Amino acid sequence: MLKRRPLTVGHKSFADVTNDICTPVETFPGLQWVGLFLGANFGLLIFIAALGMIIGVGMGLMAVSHPVGWGTDIVTFVFWIGIGHAGTLISAILFLFRQKWRTSIARSAEAMTVFAVMTAGIFPLVHTGRPWFAFWLFPYPNQRGSLWINFRSPLEWDVFAVSTYATVSMVFWYMGMIPDFATIRDRAKNKFRKILYGALSLGWRGTARNWSHYEMTYLLLAGLSTPLVLSVHTIVSFDFAVAQLPGWHTTIFPPYFVAGAIFSGFGMVVTLMTLVRMGIPKFKDYITIDHMEVMNKIIMTTGLMVGYAYGSEFFVAWYSGNEYEQFTFINRAFGPMAWAYWIMICCNVVIPQVFWFKKFRRSIPVMFVVSIFVNIGMWFERFVITVTSLYRDFLPANWGQFIFTMYDWGVLIGSFGFFLTLFLLYIRLFPAISIAEIKPVLDVGYEEHHG
């Protein structure tokens, strides 16, 4: 009989937990947070400037052209949607499976999901070139005659899938914070804070009736969120898989995209949790090395799954006997844009293998660097799928090239500024760890029987 390490360290009392988690919300931020926030704001300004120029002047400022009609906007859209998957996975699925280690990281992972989906939603609108007509995507009575939405289009499926996922994720995230908002309300010494957090807590009093309704609603939302993890990125994969283009029309895309989304999502969670531990030192007692190690194991496992998918794609292209399919994959690995393919392979398949070694799985600097490489690699995966299937068409006369412009770099880098600005504001305004979920697991060791 062995005991697993406690889920929190430092032998905290209930009062310690409340003070540690509420203090960042109740006090002025430190220099580390201010520095990160100013850096994120700079990225946000780049994002706003790049988007303003693209919308004002036109899509010609970006690298999209014949034959590459899908470029940075679609690649980055799929990337951010993937980032949003780990939050719902950690919160909803692990909650249903009663995995107690999720308690310290679930809240921030849920916030990451909401902000990643908000970031992703901007890119399809920009890609259309006329975002002010975005309302045409929704079915409503109109006076435009026979002009109606094509419900067979996978792009239309995206509208419903992503909007549903965003709505459920926001409600799920907000529901979990209601008891903690009430705690901050009761501790507030400022009248404005008391009114603000009182409104956010929806009159929570902590009665048995409150807890009964809360737990039932939270369980229902977790059950509703779980199939969305699989469905949303499956539908995003259909943007490609239902096309007839070599390199896209493959049945492996749905599970391949879902595994890749979990892979990149956990990479981003590790990045953010490392920054949270650095910015708020007391959180190290709650977001422990054990939490980080479990996530690193998931990154390693899903990295192997993604690597298997890469190999399967090449095998299916060869086995199919289709010369166009074979050319597309050979061109990906050995053509003019092979550099992108091998960046993807190195970042997603090779580098995460360091987590086979426990010393590296439990090293904060190593996991932070690996998580950055994972997200670089997953962006390049979407780039490889999209661009290298388009830039060499069936006719050599149609062959072209995709050359990044400053505006492509602006919206890509700026999207991280937008995302981090939202996340850093969340850290200061909302309790980043669930007080209500941490207290039941204080210094708990789970017994494991080995027969």
pLDDT reported for residue 449 = 38
Is the separation of the CB atoms in 40 and 421 below 8 Å?
yes
Q: What is the mean pLDDT of the chain?
A: 88
Question: If we measure between CA atoms, which residue out of 127, 131, 124 comes closest to residue 63?
Answer: 127
Rounded to two decimals, what is the model's pTM? 0.90
Question: What pLDDT score was predicted for residue 365?
Answer: 93
State the average pLDDT over residues 326-330.
Answer: 90
**How many angstroms from the chain centroid is the CA of residue 164?**
16
For residues 400 and 68, is the Cβ–Cβ distance under 8 A? yes
Kindly state the average pLDDT of the residues 312-332. 90
Range from 60-64, 146-150, 324-328, 351-355 carrying the lowest mean pLDDT: 146-150
At 4, the pLDDT band (50, 70, 90 cuts) reads low
Percent of the chain that is helix, strand, coil (3-state, to 5): 75, 0, 25
C-alpha–C-alpha distance, residues 89 and 267, integer Å = 13
SS3 2: strand
Q: Which residue has the higher pLDDT, 374 or 153?
A: 374
Query: Does position 115 have pLDDT exceeding 90, yes or no?
Result: yes
DSSP secondary structure letters along 290-313: HHHHHHHHHHHHHHHHHHHHHHHH
The rounded Cα 15 to chain-centroid distance in angstroms is 33
Using CA atoms, how far apart are residues 210 and 226, in angstroms rounded to an integer?
A: 24
Confidence bin at 447 (pLDDT 50/70/90): very low
Q: Which two tokens stand for residue 64?
A: 């999209």
pLDDT tens by residue, 407-441 = 999 999 999 999 999 999 999 999 989 888 888 88
Output the pLDDT for position 448.
40
Decide: helix, strand or coil at residue 447.
Answer: strand
**pLDDT reported for residue 3:** 59
Which stretch of 36-40, 184-188, 431-435, 445-449 has the lowest confidence by average pLDDT? 445-449
Overall size of the chain counted in residues:
451
Average pLDDT of span 225-231: 85
349-264-6 Cα angle (round to 5) = 100
The structure tokens 């292209």 sit at 317
d(Cα 250, Cα 244) in Å, to the nearest integer?
9
3-state secondary structure of 268: helix
Report the alpha-carbon distance of residue 328 to residue 437 in Å, rounded.
Answer: 50
Asked if residue 292 lies in contact with residue 216, where contact means CB atoms within 8 angstroms, the answer is no
